[in-house]
Chain A
Amino acid sequence: MSRRALKTPSRFNMFLGLFPTLLIFSFVFVFPLFFSIRLSFFDWKGGSSLNFVGLKNFLTLFSDKNFWNSFKNTFSITVLVVIGQVGLGLIISVLLVTKYIRWRGVHRTLIFLPVVLSPVVVGLVWGIIYNKRNGLLDLFLSSLGMSNIPLWLDDPNLVLYTVSVPVIWQFIGLYMIMFLGALESIPKSILESAELDGTNGYQRTVKIMLPMIYPTFKAAMMICVSGTLKIFDQIYVLTEGGPGQRSMTMSLFNYRVSFNMMRFSYGASMSIIMIIITLAITGITIKMLGGRRYE
């Protein structure tokens, strides 16, 4: 607790300082949320007729196969992406702090580089990589002597994996840097005394380093889960949800319903459910991880 020796500013100054932030936050964040909630209880397609329909939109939504399909896809992509991003990010960061590795700084800089790019750009680049006639991946695989190369983005059984790969690839660097920060803050003395006690590198990693960065792991999981549940840009660019609905995600489906089909009130109720689902899954993830405590 910091002591508050400073004199609190006058009410007027307080108001002057906080009002602009609260105003824009209410205007863009709070008000649209309540607008959505209200709209979801009505039937409205943009015209002048606005009929109260109670929970009808939500009931329609709960029996909408396409929505549940988009939820399942989003969930699958999130599982894949969490394993890929947090898992590989953790492995690479552990490798980078071993004494074996060379050019540490170069690796850090290069692996983090895709993080700063726009997901749209990454999606378009991977679109070229996956491309049938001019694709880098096909060229690479056929030069290895592989025939029978699948249609990466048009194969319904493959598409969830192929759209996840660019997402994983782009953000591994973010998680790597998070874990590196935590690993490097472990006091050297702890590792040295463990080394003197005769532990090997594997033991030091699993028994000492990983438990010590557990809080960071939790935060990384939270960021990764909540971030991937809203995935939109890459899917829009790569497949537009296809083939069929096989890679349709919640955000993209919401966009289609709202802006292509102009079903505004239905879209609004979907927005509400999306917020609830995302907060719930993120909350459950934290809860599940919170059970184990290391000190």
Chain B
Amino acid sequence: MNSSRTLPAAAAAVEPQKPLRSSSRVTRWIINTLVFLFSLSCIFPLIWMLSTSFKSSVEFQKSIIRLPESINFDNYIKIMTHAKFFRYFSNSFIISVITLATVLVLATVTGYFLSRFSFKGRNFIYVLLMLGLVVPTHAWLLPLFLQFREIGLLDRRITLVFPYVTFALPTAIFLIESFVRGIPEEMEESATMEGCGVWQSLFRIIMPLCKPILSTVLVLTFNASWNEFPFGLVLINRDALKTVPVALTMFTGAYTTDYPSLVSALIISIIPVILFYGLFSRKIMEGMTAGAVKG
């Protein structure tokens, strides 16, 4: 980046509002255009999908880029009724909600215990969770499949909750643990004096204070389970129990020529995450980058 600051410091301080030199005006223009184009590339596919989803197949064949002649929801109706997409949608939703509830409870308790008390095996738990964060989860597809097959846990409604909870826990626990660290211990000390047990302190005093971090964990966990693909692909075989991402990959075969229908299915599938993103974009950004910024 070029800069116009060649004047001595004193002069610059006297005249801070001096007009931009033409070279910096060009720099400003170039930078703004570049970043603008990139932002546009991030949103353009979504706008194009939305526009395509309102088109008929014939209309789409005529031009893939022109705006739809009229807004009609035929594709959406087709996807939701004929293609049984509603079932996949509710499957994903139920699994995500069960995962979410489990993760919130387990991570709060574990995160609280790890941050407040020293006990035997504490470091072991840390190492275990850290490992869970960095290993390639795909290496668990086969052994988990074989293990679940052995005990009859494949193709159940509860099946996917196990891997989803397990692989969401490390992040959730670390986030909650470091948040609880920032809450002064006096909060519970006074409660203990009044005769509160550890559970009462945790659920009556600490948990309400943790609301900000719990909502971060909530959106992150929901997002992860809603979007998860490989475990859904491997552990579920019954069509009635399939999740949205798996169903989408099957659609491409059945609807190869019918792009507007495929695109409508894609739009429906991203509604929950886009909705969450619209409401909690700050929290999602913070949660996903929390570990990294601390270094």
Binds B, one of A33-41, A51-59, A61-69, A150-158: A33-41
Establish whether residues B146 and A118, one from each chain, have CB atoms under 8 Å apart when the complex forms.
no
Chain A contacts with B in 1-58, Cβ cutoff 8 A: 2-9, 13-14, 17-18, 20-22, 24-25, 27-33, 35-36, 39
Q: Is B94 an interface residue (CB 8 A)?
A: no
Q: Is A289 an interface residue (CB 8 A)?
A: no
Q: Are A8 and B292 also in contact (CB < 8 A) when A92-B38, A95-B31, A230-B138 are?
A: no
Q: Whole-angstrom distance between the alpha carbons of A35 and B146 in the complex?
A: 9
Q: Is B72 an interface residue (CB 8 A)?
A: no
Binds A, one of B82-90, B210-218, B273-281: B273-281
Q: Is A79 an interface residue (CB 8 A)?
A: no
Q: Is B110 an interface residue (CB 8 A)?
A: yes
Establish whether residues A6 and B117, one from each chain, have CB atoms under 8 Å apart when the complex forms.
yes
Establish whether residues A118 and B227, one from each chain, have CB atoms under 8 Å apart when the complex forms.
yes
Q: Whole-angstrom distance between the alpha carbons of A116 and B140 in the complex?
A: 24
Q: Which of B145, B270, B293 is within 8 Å of A181, CB to CB?
A: B293
Q: Is B236 an interface residue (CB 8 A)?
A: no
Q: Whole-angstrom distance between the alpha carbons of A258 and B112 in the complex?
A: 39
Residues of B within 8 A of A220 (CB): 292
Residues of A within 8 A of B128 (CB): 25, 29-30
Chain A contacts with B in 106-138, Cβ cutoff 8 A: 106-121, 124-125, 127-129, 134-136
Chain A contacts with B in 122-180, Cβ cutoff 8 A: 124-125, 127-129, 134-136, 139, 169, 172-174, 177-178
Q: Are A110 and B229 also in contact (CB < 8 A) when A21-B106, A116-B273 are?
A: no
Interface centre among B60, B234, B288 (most CB of A within 10 A): B288
Interface residues of chain A: helix, strand, loop or mixed (majority): helix
Q: Are A36 and B35 also in contact (CB < 8 A) when A115-B288, A124-B252 are?
A: no
Establish whether residues A24 and B266, one from each chain, have CB atoms under 8 Å apart when the complex forms.
no
B170-192 contact mask (Cβ, 8 Å, vs A): 1 or 0: 00010000000100010011001
Q: Whole-angstrom distance between the alpha carbons of A127 and B165 in the complex?
A: 31
Within the complex, the shortest CB–CB distance from B75 to chain A, in Å, comes to 14
Residues of B within 8 A of A114 (CB): 42
Q: Which chain A residue has the least Cβ–Cβ distance from B162?
A: A28
Q: Which chain B residue has the least Cβ–Cβ distance from A196?
A: B9
Q: Which of B134, B188, B274 is within 8 Å of A6, CB to CB?
A: B188
B30-68 contact mask (Cβ, 8 Å, vs A): 1 or 0: 011011101111110110110000000000100011000
Residues of A within 8 A of B245 (CB): 118, 120-121, 233
Establish whether residues B266 and A233, one from each chain, have CB atoms under 8 Å apart when the complex forms.
no
Within the complex, the shortest CB–CB distance from A144 to chain B, in Å, comes to 14
Interface centre among B163, B198, B226, B273 (most CB of A within 10 A): B198
Q: Are A92 and B266 also in contact (CB < 8 A) when A17-B110, A32-B147, A198-B5 are?
A: no
Establish whether residues A200 and B32, one from each chain, have CB atoms under 8 Å apart when the complex forms.
no
Establish whether residues A237 and B162, one from each chain, have CB atoms under 8 Å apart when the complex forms.
no
Residues of B within 8 A of A112 (CB): 281, 284-285
Q: Which chain B residue has the least Cβ–Cβ distance from A88?
A: B38
Q: Is B3 an interface residue (CB 8 A)?
A: yes
Establish whether residues A181 and B289, one from each chain, have CB atoms under 8 Å apart when the complex forms.
yes
Q: Which chain B residue has the least Cβ–Cβ distance from A237?
A: B249
Establish whether residues A120 and B229, one from each chain, have CB atoms under 8 Å apart when the complex forms.
yes
Establish whether residues A110 and B42, one from each chain, have CB atoms under 8 Å apart when the complex forms.
yes
Establish whether residues A25 and B132, one from each chain, have CB atoms under 8 Å apart when the complex forms.
yes
Establish whether residues B142 and A258, one from each chain, have CB atoms under 8 Å apart when the complex forms.
yes
Residues of B within 8 A of A195 (CB): 5, 9
Q: Which chain B residue has the least Cβ–Cβ distance from A219?
A: B292
Within the complex, the shortest CB–CB distance from B166 to chain A, in Å, comes to 4
Residues of A within 8 A of B288 (CB): 115, 174, 177
Q: Whole-angstrom distance between the alpha carbons of A100 and B46 in the complex?
A: 28
Establish whether residues B31 and A98, one from each chain, have CB atoms under 8 Å apart when the complex forms.
yes
Residues of A within 8 A of B263 (CB): 128
Q: Is B14 an interface residue (CB 8 A)?
A: no
Q: Is A81 an interface residue (CB 8 A)?
A: no
What are 22 pairs between A and B in contact, CB < 8 Å? Answer: A6-B189, A9-B113, A13-B199, A27-B162, A28-B165, A32-B144, A100-B28, A107-B35, A110-B40, A116-B277, A119-B227, A121-B266, A121-B269, A127-B252, A135-B64, A136-B64, A178-B289, A181-B289, A220-B292, A259-B145, A268-B142, A278-B135
Given contacts A20-B106, A136-B48, 10 further A-B contacts (CB under 8 A): A9-B117, A9-B197, A17-B198, A116-B274, A128-B263, A178-B293, A200-B2, A201-B3, A226-B136, A264-B146
3 closest pairs, A vs B, by CB? Answer: A215-B295, A32-B143, A118-B227
